[in-house]
Copies of this chain bind each other. A is one copy, B any other.
Amino acid sequence: MSSLKDPGSPWRASRERMRDREVKRDAVIRAAARAFNRKGYHNTSLDDIAAALEVTKPTVYYYVSNKEQLLFECFVAGIEGIRAAFRETRSLALPARERLKAVLRHYGEAVASEFGWCMVRAEDQDLSPDMSAHIKAMKSEIDQGIRRLLREGIQDGSIHPCDPKMTAFALAGALNWIAHWYRESQSMTGTEIAEAFIAVFERGLMPRSQNSNEDPTCRKSKSSSSRPGARRSARSKAPSRR
């Protein structure tokens, strides 16, 4: 990025400064995320954050405009990982269930990251209306993305027919909740936890031997659910088990 101008340009130093500033700003945001993670948003003062960086409060205000923005940035940093997961997997030529699993793995990783707390527990009431609207939009985007994958999976036969809305709530809830109990330096990484959860979701609690006489109690079974022909042929190849 800095290679666009020639090295000897008089703006080089200035641009390096800019980069320096970005680095420091990121450090501020990361420190805030860690503090929020440990003590909660309201129990964290800007003095705390400044102290963690071994600077003083006005220095923090030199990089961010206010505390609310700090929370917002942490949230965006956290959710960006999930959005990236969606972008990556969108192009993959896999059955929807596999793409969903890939997204959920990234999801778990993001929630277990240092920004997980902020992403998951940022409360609307702590933010100004417009920032709250931004966050709501992003959250809705994730939710709709999961629902879409579920619908696609039902269509291509890789996912058992179910109510996409409720299922998405269940999946996202289980993963979001990781932020409540997970602490860094635990035995498992976020991806591993997501993997374990996926195993549960995928297979279900019920033993295999009981499948036979099961009536699909699925709500929203509008159409095509019980039509066996709806299962697309592309899936039946089962190309990529893990």
Taking Cβ atoms with an 8 Å cutoff, the residues of A that contact B are: 38-43, 97, 100, 121, 123, 125-126, 153, 157-160, 162-163, 166-167, 169-178, 180-181, 193, 196-197, 199-211, 213-214, 216-219, 231, 235-236, 238, 241
Contacts and interface: CB of A to CB of B under 8 A. Distances in A.
Given A163-B196, A200-B167, A206-B159, A39 B125 contact: yes
A28 to B, nearest CB: 21
Of residues A163, A181, A209, A216, which shows the largest number of chain B Cβ atoms within 10 Å of its Cβ?
A209
Given A166-B193, A193-B166, A213-B241, A203 B160 contact: yes
B39 A207 contact: no
Contacts of A126: 40, 43
7 contacts: A40-B126, A169-B177, A171-B174, A173-B177, A204-B205, A209-B231, A213-B238
A35 to B, nearest CB: 11
Given A203-B206, A205-B97, A218-B199, A123 B40 contact: yes
B42 A170 contact: no
Q: Mostly helix, strand, loop or mixed at chain A's interface?
A: helix
Of residues A121, A173, A214, which shows the largest number of chain B Cβ atoms within 10 Å of its Cβ?
A173
A36 B173 CA distance: 21
Contacts of A207: 157-160, 231, 235
Nearest to A173: B177
Contact of A40 (B39, B125, B159, B177): B125
A203 B160 CA distance: 9
Contact of A201 (B121, B160, B170, B241): B170
Of residues A203, A211, A216, which shows the largest number of chain B Cβ atoms within 10 Å of its Cβ?
A203
Contacts of A201: 170, 200-201, 204-205
B178 A173 contact: yes
A62 to B, nearest CB: 26
Nearest to A120: B180
A187 to B, nearest CB: 11
Given A43-B126, A177-B177, 6 more contacts: A166-B193, A166-B197, A169-B174, A169-B178, A208-B211, A213-B238
Given A213-B241, A238-B213, A205 B125 contact: no
